[in-house]
């Protein structure tokens, strides 16, 4: 039997030792040499994009839906930019912990100049997203308008106040606050960079020797949809923890999370169909890893997390947008959204982890 065209059964036999090594020497080249900081980076970078996308679009959605109360808009925007800042910082720390020479990362404008590399492109996208999220968050947290606002998302003001710098921060922000058109430009740029976090999928899909990664459509789309859904869901969940009102703007974002989760699940299904159709032995080995043993639980977590978030998000979103929610629905919908979006976060992270741990490179085979 030629192992270069081996089916799934041959890969299982190799894994279990049922094929004699006297006939075939099959040297697997493991692809899981990265530690867990890498899937955490791949996850947090797109979650940051989802947070920034929420913060940037909240004013637009509020106007489109005719929101009479600007409190929820402000809360969603502030929580969104805060999720963007914290997640982008976490992504940066995760990738820094993986590097042997941290100075090269700090001086990335000097060292990362190969703009044909997704690593270089991705670094600039993440840094740009971080800067925009930070600037937008500062203008949302400080100034006279923020001083008169209420909401749990304003807690950084209390921290700055403890340092005795709150009045100074408010004066400086009001003095240097750009006109509305400039802020609109920042929001538009942040939204574009949020979508550009699809680069995290391209960083894996260009590796031609790993069939589990080398899917230039499925992997980037699965990363983008699931990560943006997780970032938006986290923002909505944080808002709902303190604001127990199922208003149309919450429903709009819930429906958006549901739609993105469904698209993410479709991308995962498409990737699985591509993997199962491959005749590469490394693809068969990855199938075994994903469906047997400890990684099988992670596979089901991915599917379950995306599916539940899709159903709950679309259902609750439709109720809120059509005005069919009431006091009883609000009491159930809030916890349902928070729980399902928490499951989505776990499933989205699990997607990155199992894609690294289940990956095998095409092996070196010696037939004797």
Question: Distance between CA atoms of 25 and 72, rounded to whole angstroms?
Answer: 63
Which pTM value belongs to this model? 0.87
User: Which pLDDT score is estimated for 123?
Assistant: 86
Please list the residues that pair with 366 across neighbouring strands.
25
How far is residue 195 CA from its own chain's centroid? Answer: 11
Residue 121 is predicted with a pLDDT of: 86
Domain boundaries, the chain: 3-367
Please name the fold of domain 3-367.
Answer: Formate dehydrogenase/DMSO reductase fold (1.20.1630)
Q: What is the mean pLDDT of each run of 10 residues along the chain (368 residues)?
A: 37 42 47 73 97 96 77 93 97 76 57 68 91 97 93 94 94 94 96 96 91 95 98 96 87 97 98 93 90 91 97 94 70 90 97 92 62
Closest to 249 (Cα-Cα) out of 69, 78, 82, 80 = 69
Handedness of CA 173, 178, 184, 189 (dihedral sign): negative
* SS3 label, residue 115: coil
Element of type H or E holding 360:
strand 360-367
Q: Report phi then psi at 18, rounded to 5.
A: -80, -15
Cβ 274 vs Cβ 226: under 8 Å: no
Evaluate whether 227 touches 50 at the Cβ level (below 8 Å): yes
CA distance 150 to 210: 51
- pLDDT computed for residue 206 by the predictor: 92
| CB contact at 8 A, 249 and 61 | yes
Q: Residue 37: what pLDDT?
A: 86
């Amino acid at each position: 039997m030629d192992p270069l065209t081996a089916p799934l059964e041959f890969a299982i036999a190799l894994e279990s030792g049922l094929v004699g090594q006297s006939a075939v020497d099959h040297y697997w080249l493991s692809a899981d040499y990265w530690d867990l900081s890498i899937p955490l980076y791949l996850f947090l970078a797109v979650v940051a994009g989802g947070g920034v996308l929420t913060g940037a679009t909240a004013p637009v959605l509020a106007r489109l839906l005719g929101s009479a109360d600007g409190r929820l808009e402000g809360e969603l925007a502030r929580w969104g930019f805060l999720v963007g800042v914290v997640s982008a910082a976490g992504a940066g720390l995760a990738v820094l912990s993986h590097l042997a020479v941290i100075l090269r990362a700090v001086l990335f404008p000097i060292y990362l100049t190969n703009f044909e590399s997704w690593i270089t492109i991705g670094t600039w996208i993440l840094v740009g997203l971080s800067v925009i999220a930070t600037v937008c968050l500062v203008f949302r947290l400080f100034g006279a308008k923020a001083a008169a606002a209420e909401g749990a998302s304003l807690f950084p003001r209390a921290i700055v106040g403890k340092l005795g710098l709150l009045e100074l921060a408010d004066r400086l922000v009001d003095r240097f606050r750009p006109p509305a058109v400039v802020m609109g430009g920042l929001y538009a740029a942040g939204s574009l960079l949020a979508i550009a976090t699809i680069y995290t999928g391209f960083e894996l899909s260009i590796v031609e020797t790993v069939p589990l990664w080398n899917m230039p459509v499925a992997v980037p789309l699965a990363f983008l949809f699931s990560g943006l859904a997780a970032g938006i869901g986290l923002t909505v969940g944080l808002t709902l923890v303190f604001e127990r009102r199922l208003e149309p703007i919450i429903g709009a974002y819930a429906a958006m999370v549901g739609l993105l989760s469904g698209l993410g699940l479709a991308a995962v299904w498409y990737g699985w169909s591509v993997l199962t159709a491959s005749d590469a032995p490394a693809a068969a080995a990855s199938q075994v890893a994903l469906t047997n043993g400890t990684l099988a639980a992670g596979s089901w977590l991915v599917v379950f997390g995306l599916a539940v978030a899709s159903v709950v998000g679309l259902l609750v979103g439709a109720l809120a947008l059509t005005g069919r929610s009431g006091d009883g629905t609000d009491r159930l919908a809030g916890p349902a959204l928070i729980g399902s979006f928490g499951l989505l976060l776990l499933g989205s992270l699990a997607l990155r982890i199992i894609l690294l741990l289940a990956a095998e490179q095409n092996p070196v085979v010696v037939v004797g």
